[in-house]
A = this chain, B = another copy of it.
Amino acid sequence: MNDAKRYKEKNRKLAEWKRKLSLILEYSGKISTSSGLSDILKVITNETRDVILADRCTVFLLDKSKNELYSWIAHGLGRKKIRFPASTGLAGAAVTTGKIINVKDAYSDRRFNPEIDQKTGYYTKSILCVPMRNQPGQIIGVFQVLNKKDGFFTKQDEEMLRLLSSQASGIIENAMLYEEMKKSFKSFINTLAETVDARDPLTAGHSSRVCAYSLLIADRMGYSDKDRERLQYAALLHDLGKIGVKEAVLTKPGRLDLDESAHIQTHTSVTRKILERTYFQHGFRNIPIIASSHHENVDGTGYPQKLKGEEIPEISRIMAVADVFDALTYKRHYRNPMPMEKVLSILREETGRKFDPGCIDAFFSLDLCDVLRVMTEAEENGEKDSIGSGMSEFRGISLKDLHERLKKKEKDEAVKKFSKFYPVAGLKKRS
């Protein structure tokens, strides 16, 4: 029976191997997703925690340019981004030394940084940190697991976590590259929109405010992340065609004549032409038509295509409201910013003719605090903070509420306070 014994023992070891490898295989199937970085990390941390039998898992990413580690941690019901120097804490020690760090009692190790515990109200006991390396072997982050169920992290856990992190590193690195590229693309579009807007000093910041108002409306209408992203591109690019409008017309003091109006109206079709020559990814192919339809009216009297009602993309109908609201609340060459009561009354009056009733309802349900924040954040006059901090008083008051009160000429506290904010300091200065 000596043979049988030996075989049995080998059997046990092989079975253990098989179990581990199957676990890793299953793990790597589950994490092979192409969603956004934050979602990928969520899946990876949950799966890792379960495989290692830890209580928590965090994947920290290394930002080489700043030599900082960052991640998203559970915070209340949501998730919050944290950042710290890559030289601090046990995770930092794993990055700096390139070695696995396995500590039974975190608080008795002087390298441990208790700050995150303090922020999250968690209590770390055992902790295992493994440097995550990419294919050429560079450290790109740290896998950290906390509080092993029933005891401490073993040598086997160390090896397992190393294997899991190497399975995950390719996915994570690709997702990071993708996010970086997206960030760069968006930033470029944003800067470009600012540049085009700034050809007329009075429209400086217009596109980014239209984008911000439109996002607020879209959130009320329950937009998905994908649709929000589409909206952002379209809103930032909606006036791109103004590249083709003559400065003399753009900055003419006073009203435009018919020819000049016709010239300025060409900006929508120019926006469309420029964007139609651009390759957009799957899911973003309709950006040219969305971006260029913000001057269409639901009754078919708009331009450039005289589209009607639902022929107009919904995002364009949202942008139409945001666009007019921003134009009326800012100075133009032929008029000062309009009183808010008049602005809101015009939006109501034009509903069904110019504007989509659903988009207008969503707009009027916006919180005054959020709207003022967009309006004033666009100002670069150094008063941002003081204005920002004063605005929380408007939380809970909708644009609809404000409109009612302004119409009734009620001089309650909120209305009085509001008149200090609107037209905002920067607007007053410009007029």
Contact = CB atoms under 8 A, between A and B. Distances in A.
A17 interface: yes
Contacts of A284: 184
A182 B178 CA distance: 9
A80 to B, nearest CB: 22
A206 to B, nearest CB: 16
Given A11-B11, A25-B25, A195-B243, A32 B169 contact: yes
A138 B241 CA distance: 38
Given A11-B11, A243-B243, A32 B178 contact: no
Interface in A321-365: none
Given A34-B177, A191-B278, A196 B4 contact: no
Given A18-B14, A21-B18, A170 B167 contact: no
Nearest to A196: B243
A238 B163 CA distance: 46
10 contacts: A1-B3, A3-B4, A17-B18, A18-B21, A25-B163, A34-B135, A34-B174, A184-B185, A191-B277, A247-B247
A168 to B, nearest CB: 8
Interface-centre pick from A170, A280, A281 (highest chain B CB count, 10 A): A170
A279 B195 contact: no
A282 B65 contact: yes
Interface of A: 1, 3-4, 7-8, 10-11, 14-15, 17-18, 21-22, 24-25, 28-34, 64-65, 134-135, 163, 166-167, 169-171, 173-175, 177-178, 180-185, 187-192, 194-196, 199, 243-244, 246-247, 274-275, 277-282, 284-285
A174 B170 CA distance: 10
Contact of A14 (B11, B181, B246): B11
Contacts of A25: 21, 24-25, 163, 167
- 6 residue pairs, one from A and one from B, having the closest CB atoms: A32-B170, A21-B21, A7-B7, A187-B279, A14-B14, A174-B174
A189 B28 CA distance: 37
Given A31-B170, A177-B281, A185-B185, 20 more contacts: A1-B3, A7-B11, A17-B21, A18-B21, A21-B22, A25-B25, A30-B135, A32-B135, A34-B174, A65-B282, A65-B285, A171-B171, A178-B178, A181-B281, A184-B281, A184-B284, A188-B279, A191-B274, A191-B278, A196-B243
A171 B278 contact: no
Contacts of A178: 174, 177-178, 181
A247 B246 contact: yes
A114 B175 CA distance: 38
Contacts of A31: 170
A352 B196 CA distance: 38
